Amino acid sequence: MKFGKLAGRGAISLPRRQRGLVLLITLIVLVAMMLAGIGMMRSIDTTTMIAGNVAFRESTLHAGDSGMNAAFSKLLTITSVLGDRPALYYSDGDSTAYINPQTGVTDYYCTGMSASLCTGNNVNFPGYRSTPLKSCEIYPPAIPPATANPKQCLSASDYQWWANAANWVGAPSITVNDTAGQPFATVYYWIHRMCEVPDTSPGGSLQTCQTIQESVKVTGSSMQVGTTKFTATSVYYRVTTKSIGPRNTVTYAQEMVLIPE
């Protein structure tokens, strides 16, 4: 039997076998999108953590103001009583006799001071030193710091003593609470008189102290800067705080205070 071509009909095309190329591309795109999503989530988490750490740092730094106020209040309390002023000449725990600059005779640190400032003949002024850790600190750093000119510290680290945890041993501290009344930060402080010579009255060592002199005249009961009538001398005192807050956040702060002599 013979068969002829069917008129009007072409060859029949069979479906091609699928090789999975579209599926492979789809999987690659899905993996890329998933990795991008994970990266974005980690970036958001990191940003949130950094923002939180910055907030903790700022709040811990503000807590240091409480330490500054506590130290400044001690200085004001002492300077408000004439008989207590010799406490500023000597470091906490000192008990050696000295020559009274007003009378010229041998005296003891605690003679005439308030009982709260003394334990026997020992000065009781926690957190106070009558000179910095190193006397060269009272001079500005040399530039470059390789040579002293004339008395600067030879190393920049000498000016950054506060970064050494060992130098905070024995420092007094206060606890700062948050708005809910819970302990938030612990603030330590040191007060240093900016003088080269420790345990001496400024009357005998003003030339080795960071001081400022002001010409003052008296008009009635008021005092104003103007025509020279007498010269008032003030000594610089440095207050340094170390605040430790949440997540072991540590911040430092320093202020200079002028106390008239």
For residues 224 and 173, which has the higher predicted lDDT (pLDDT)?
173
- SS3 string, the chain, reads CCCCCCCCCCCCCCCCCCCCHHHHHHHHHHHHHHHHHHHHHHHHHHHHHHHHHHHHHHHHHHHHHHHHHHHHHHHHHHHCCHHHHHHHHCCCCCCCCEECCCCCCEECCCCCCCHHHEECCEECCCCEECCCCCHHHHCCCCCCCCCCCCCCCCCHHHHHHHHCHHHHCCCCEEEEECCCCCEEEEEEEEEEECECCCCCCHHHHHHHECEEEEEEEEECCEEEECCCCEEEEEEEEEEEEEEECHHHCEEEEEEEEEEEC
pLDDT at 52: 55
Q: With DSSP H G I counted as helix, E B as strand and the rest as coil, what are the percentages for the chain, rounded to 5?
A: 35, 25, 40
DSSP-assigned beta bridge partners for residue 41: none
What is the rounded distance in angstroms from the CA atom of residue 74 to the CA atom of residue 108? 21
Q: What is the pLDDT of residue 230?
A: 60
pTM, 2 dp: 0.70
Pairing of strands 106-107, 98-99: antiparallel
- How confident is the model at residue 12, as a pLDDT? 59
Containing H/E element for 52? Answer: helix 21-79
Using one digit for the tens of pLDDT, what is the confidence trace for 39-95? Answer: 777 776 666 665 555 556 666 777 888 889 999 999 999 988 888 888 888 899 888
* pLDDT of 35 strictly over 90: no
Helices and strands of the chain, counted as H and E runs: 2, 11
Q: Are 224 and 249 a contacting pair, CB within 8 Å?
A: no
Q: 137-147, pLDDT tens digit by residue? A: 888 776 665 56
Q: What is the pLDDT of residue 225?
A: 53
Q: Is the model more confident about 232 or about 51?
A: 232
Confidence of residue 224 (pLDDT cuts 50, 70, 90): low
Residue 20 falls in which region: left (phi positive, over 0), alpha (psi -120 to 50) or beta: left
